[in-house]
A and B are shown apart, each in its own frame.
Chain A
């Protein structure tokens, strides 16, 4: 099984079970918060006077347990981390918003979800906090346009995780977070002893065993590490439908599943120059032309709007490709021929980038198709494998007419459409948005 389950990534009216599953998750969430005592504002506020650190204990135990299980599942190849929603980092609005939340927390005695647990069990203060919440969220919507630019851009780093910040393996971060949590629990208990006059000898001994299990599990996550690109590549599956016309009946539609290598062998990911060009004028998709050749080849000739990412530097931009472009982006890879673009395709597919295609025959075949009447472009008979097959008088980049073909001249182009848009996740749909 490959997790997360594709059909449950978002709610979908066509599949009512999605609502049931999310409601069940919410139910378990609310139940757990209430049984931990978070329906009572005194228990929450006590956190900030050191008399009872339930908030810290519940929250950091939950974070540590979920993190160990999550990265354990990622390491074992059960869960695809690129499909897991990671809150994008907006430092400025995050810090200011966080400080404001802190004020709301100590004044109101709840946070939003705990106020649900409180309101639903009949606490009037919980209900009023909830009601105030609707007003606060409304006011934010009304005032956001006064600082919209700051809100959307200040300190924006996209999908960024702590292992990338500190440049250490993710397993090491898991171990460090667990150690930090255990240290905080120890410190928290000392504070409860001092400020809350709590007798620690009455605490269950079992918690020490739990701490030991957590450390061992975190170390296991560290040892397992991350699945290699090759392992991930081999697990990718594609589905395509084929329609067989029938005499006097509806065509038979078969759904076929291909591995990534089969997609290459059957040339299902190679799109013609005509299709690559027409993608620009297709409202349903947002084509991103990725030119993986060397910078010098790119400077000699490249397609209008193509972005130069030499093959060696491709892995650097993968986090950006995963988080930045809209969900309907189609990545069209090109090299001079197909060799380098095919390597790039394998890397991106193994990294779970969606909708990746290869320009058939590469830039050479683009020039042969759109630039055949351009007398300044002379074929280079001695060009080797995956080299530019033309001689250029100067490095004019995308100044040639064929770099940006006239849409009126090529209004009708015939091609077999290979691009099948996969919309797996609406980027704005994840998280608390």
Chain B
């Protein structure tokens, strides 16, 4: 079987990304529908800490009782996964996968700047994940839960957070340019 005739989802021809403004309009409509139907916006970082809380609760339930932050989510008979953001999180994983599958972008690879090794990129992405989620929990939401959802509802604090995110990234961009340029 040649690659052309195999109808696998893993090697469809790779299609171009949609135009950013078009993607933005679709995302805006999705966000609006989320608010219209449920009163909640979009988010994901909350699910990360809820999954964490569920893991801690399974491994060391007594540690939950001693940690106020976890207690709020997993204390007593509360199930930390019983929150709207958890199905949104898993839905987003599935949605990303589906779009990748339809557009021929399912591929094991590493996306990185041209002048660093895969290993450096892996280390940096892991580190970036640690830092980002630490900040996201401190700010009570990430680019989705705060900047996007809070931005659309005109929440004052969310606009401040949005500018802080961009401010932090722009301030550091020059010093880590080796990673990307």
Contact = CB atoms under 8 A, between A and B. Distances in A.
Interface string B97-129: 111100101111111110000100110111111
Nearest to A105: B169
Of A113, A118, A177, which is in contact with the most chain B CB atoms at under 10 Å from its CB? A113
A104 B125 CA distance: 9
A366 to B, nearest CB: 37
B90 A26 contact: yes
Contacts of B147: 59, 63
Nearest to A33: B96
Residue picked from A64, A98, A431, most chain B C-beta under 10 Å: A98
A109 B172 CA distance: 12
A58 B153 contact: no
A49 B53 CA distance: 37
A207 B84 contact: no
A251 interface: no
Contact of A108 (B36, B103, B124): B124
Interface in A105-145: 105-126, 128-142, 144-145
B105 A102 contact: no
A204 B7 CA distance: 33
A65 B149 contact: no
A148 B69 CA distance: 9
A34 B96 contact: yes
Given A112-B133, A162-B159, A22 B91 contact: yes
Nearest to A426: B83
Interface in A405-426: 425
Interface stretch (A78-86, A367-375, A392-400): A78-86
Contact of A9 (B21, B40, B51, B91): B40
Interface string B40-57: 111111101101110010
A328 interface: no
B103 to A, nearest CB: 7
A40 interface: yes
B32 A69 contact: yes
B169 A48 contact: yes
Contacts of B35: 4, 66, 70, 79, 84
Contact of A98 (B43, B108, B122, B160): B160
A30 B163 CA distance: 23
B27 to A, nearest CB: 4
B160 A433 contact: no
A197 B168 CA distance: 26
A84 B98 CA distance: 30
- Of B35, B157, B180, most A-chain CB atoms within 10 Å: B157
Given A28-B30, A105-B128, A145-B69, A139 B134 contact: yes
Residue in A19, A61, A103, A131 whose Cβ sees the most chain B Cβ within 10 Å: A103
Nearest to A432: B145
A5 interface: yes
Contacts of B38: 4-5, 8-9, 21-22, 25
Interface in A220-267: none
Contact of A136 (B93, B124, B131): B131
Contact of B95 (A30, A122, A124, A430): A30
Interface string B160-181: 1111111111111100110111
A120 B19 CA distance: 21
Contacts of B69: 140-142, 144-145
B108 A124 contact: yes
B34, B84, B165, B167 — most chain A CB neighbours (10 Å): B84
Given A35-B103, A87-B141, A433-B46, A129 B159 contact: no
Nearest 6 A/B pairs, CB to CB: A108-B128, A102-B168, A26-B91, A61-B24, A132-B129, A432-B145
Given A35-B18, A113-B42, 18 more contacts: A4-B39, A28-B30, A29-B27, A32-B30, A32-B95, A33-B95, A39-B100, A39-B105, A58-B27, A59-B147, A85-B153, A87-B157, A112-B142, A117-B92, A120-B100, A142-B69, A161-B156, A432-B140
